[in-house]
């Protein structure tokens, strides 16, 4: 731009004032060119950042909602509409609640354990219609779920893993054990399922869900929370430990705030 502008200048002697004007114009042109380059560079960076954030949100969403679960649920609804419309309506309602929770932008805010367990039970209800007697879940909730809180959707994905990777591949099905206890200032939740002999290593979808929950727990609690999974002979177990603040801690925290 500057080169084209200079070549258009008349080839005549310049006085000092003209030279000053040209210099000033060149400086202005250089500044404007720099601003333009900076503007387009920032626009490019913004688009890349927005795309990266979008991809991150999509990956997080995919780790919470497996497409196979949606398709299976839709098939269940379609098969029930004509023969059992009331149950079909229940599945639609359960599915909508699960999706609303998955799309919750404040999902890292703690909710009552009772709310998380309700989501787990809605998920089990839908899957039990598909797997029938092959799926059994034993609940051992040894705490009052109305008195403790955990981050939303940190148990339901583990239950989904247990059913999808543990129960579904087994022709005879099996039992998922859900055990929740409180030890001093820790809430410990354990989910175990039978494991097919054909599955020797954790599958990609399983690792993605575990990694997503591990990152969320670390962001919320730092080193105060943990998630550990292990494969024993014929079974797979995942245990989450959540820190629980007592009433004194909460009062002190409110005073500091």
Q: Is the pLDDT of residue 39 over 80?
A: no
Residues 126 and 252 in one domain: yes
At residue 256 the predicted structure's pLDDT band, cuts being 50, 70 and 90, is very low
pLDDT score at 168: 92
Residues 208 and 147 in one domain: yes
Note down the domain range covering 15: 2-61
Residues 47 and 33 in one domain: yes
Residues 84 and 43 in one domain: no
pLDDT score at 137: 97
At residue 102 the predicted structure's pLDDT band, cuts being 50, 70 and 90, is confident
3-state secondary structure of 189: strand
pLDDT tens per residue across span 10-36: 555 555 555 655 566 677 667 667 766
Residues 166 and 77 in one domain: yes
b/e map of 217-248 (b: 16 or more CB within 10 Å)? beebeeeebbbebeeeeeebbbbbbbbbeeee
Residues 175 and 240 in one domain: yes
For position 175, which CATH number holds?
3.30.565.10
Cα 130 to the chain's mean position, in Å? Answer: 25
Residue 32: exposure state from Cβ atoms within 10 A (0-12, 13-18, ≥19):
exposed
Spatial separation of the C-alpha atoms in residues 244 and 253, rounded to whole Å:
13
Residues 13 and 126 in one domain: no
- Please give the mean pLDDT across all residues of the chain: 79
Nearest to 159 by CA among 93, 60, 61, 237: 237
Residues 205 and 88 in one domain: yes
Question: What is the number of domains present in the chain?
Answer: 2
71 is written with which tokens?
């398709």
pLDDT tens per residue across span 145-195: 999 999 998 999 999 999 998 999 999 999 999 999 999 899 999 999 998
At residue 82 the predicted structure's pLDDT band, cuts being 50, 70 and 90, is confident
Residues 170 and 206 in one domain: yes
Residues 50 and 105 in one domain: no
For residue 44, which phi and psi values (nearest 5 degrees)?
-65, -45
pLDDT tens per residue across span 44-72: 777 777 676 655 554 554 455 667 788 88
Q: Is the pLDDT of residue 249 over 60?
A: no
Residues 94 and 43 in one domain: no
Q: Of 12, 35, 61, at which residue does a domain stop?
A: 61
Q: Of 13, 33, 61, at which residue does a domain stop?
A: 61
Asked if 160 and 69 touch (Cβ cutoff 8 Å), the reply is yes
pLDDT score at 255: 41
pLDDT score at 40: 72
Give me the mean pLDDT over the 130-137 stretch. 94
Q: Is the pLDDT of residue 254 over 50?
A: no
Q: Is the pLDDT of residue 129 over 60?
A: yes
240 is written with which tokens?
């989450």
Q: Of 29, 44, 61, at which residue does a domain stop?
A: 61
At residue 253 the predicted structure's pLDDT band, cuts being 50, 70 and 90, is very low
Give pTM, 2 decimals.
0.70
pLDDT score at 203: 56
Residues 30 and 155 in one domain: no
Q: Is the pLDDT of residue 250 over 80?
A: no
């Amino acid at each position: 731009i500057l080169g084209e502008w200079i070549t258009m200048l008349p080839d005549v002697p310049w006085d000092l004032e003209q030279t000053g004007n040209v210099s000033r114009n060149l400086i202005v042109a250089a500044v404007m060119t720099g601003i333009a380059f900076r503007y387009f560079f920032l626009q490019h960076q913004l688009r890349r950042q927005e795309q990266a954030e979008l991809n991150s949100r999509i990956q997080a969403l995919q780790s919470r909602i497996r497409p196979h679960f949606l398709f299976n649920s839709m098939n269940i609804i379609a098969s029930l509409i004509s023969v059992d419309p009331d149950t079909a309506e229940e599945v639609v309602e359960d599915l909508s609640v699960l999706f609303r929770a998955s799309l919750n932008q404040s999902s890292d805010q703690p909710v009552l354990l009772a709310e998380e367990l309700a989501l787990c039970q809605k998920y089990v209800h839908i899957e039990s219609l598909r797997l029938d007697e092959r799926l059994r879940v034993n609940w051992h909730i040894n705490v009052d779920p109305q008195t403790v809180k955990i981050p939303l959707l940190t148990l339901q994905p583990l239950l989904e893993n247990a059913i999808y990777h543990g129960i579904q591949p087994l022709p005879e099905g099996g039992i998922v054990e859900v055990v929740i206890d409180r030890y001093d200032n820790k809430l410990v939740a354990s989910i175990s399922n039978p494991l097919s002999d054909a599955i020797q290593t954790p599958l990609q979808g399983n690792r993605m869900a575990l990694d997503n929950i591990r990152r969320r727990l670390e962001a919320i609690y730092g080193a105060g929370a943990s998630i550990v999974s292990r494969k024993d002979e014929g079974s797979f177990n995942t245990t989450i430990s959540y820190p629980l603040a007592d009433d004194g801690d909460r009062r002190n925290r409110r005073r500091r705030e």
